Structure 1
Amino acid sequence: MERSIKIVDEYLSALENRFNSGLIAEVAERAIECTRMRKELLGREVVLLVPSNKNLSPADTTGDDYDLIPEVAKRFFKVRDVIRYDIEAGPDDVDGELIFDFVVNASKNEQVLQAHLSLPSDRTIYFIIRNPFDAKFFPGRSVVITHSTKPISVYKSFQHLLGRCSS
């Protein structure tokens, strides 16, 4: 009898996990917003500007999410380099054929915002991954808003860029 209960519990757990991950993926996909995308850039090697894994407060747990961005990106793009930057200082000047800049709370610090804005706008795609209101500070630039720091959101944003999402 216990064995049967365990099998049913495992089956129900598997179903629940499948449903929840499917729902999360669907929500992540539908949340993506893109502006001024230059698709011709997407075949190039990518330099990733990824925030350090520093949490912004004792209650914040998003720092670990940033560590997974390079792994997710390598599933879709040829990544030439991964450059980590301090969230409180912003990225340094960087060069590359295509730059994916993952922006975290840039609007809360003028120095950080200016560091992001100093990147070459014709070759940079800004991924707004924490505060969607940051997007208003990047007018006329290629922007992807994920509304989340979670790896599934980054994954879905890459799928969207490559035309593999239904949204």
Structure 2
Amino acid sequence: MNLLQNFENEQLKKLTENKKIPDFQAGDTLKVMVKVVEGTRERVQAFEGICIARKNAGINSSFTVRKISYGEGVERVFPLYSPSIEILLVRRGIVRRAKLYYLRGLTGKKARIAEKIVRKTGANMVIPQKSEPVVPAEPVMEEKKSSIKETESEK
């Protein structure tokens, strides 16, 4: 690796130490909490919408979020590793494309994305305890033979 890549990797580690970035992709609904400074006041503004694109470029990574506000489509591009934003994953969506720019031309129900249902596994899963196997008193095969003999005698 060259000097520039080493520097970018160090900066990336510093930016991600204190910050949890969820694993998301295009089609997921995100809520981005943005710190907005107005004069001497600082407040947090929420921007919730569908992630329509994600650009992975190391420290310069970014993602685009689209929402409909008062009937108008609003898109906003956020730097992924910015210290002034916090990303919350609201729901996962099922899509077959990496870039969902086609949503710009759709409105209403046509612009909906199906939700991906995630099953929880691992530590949250309850594993039943093993019990001793139950052994039947009589073999099952003998019962079948006797029933076959009965059907033959009925003929």
TM-score (norm 1): 0.22
**Higher helix proportion, which one?**
1
Q: Please say which structure displays the higher CA radius of gyration.
A: 2
**Higher strand proportion, which one?**
2
Ranked by relative contact order (alpha carbons within 8 Å, sequence separation 6 or more), the top structure is 1
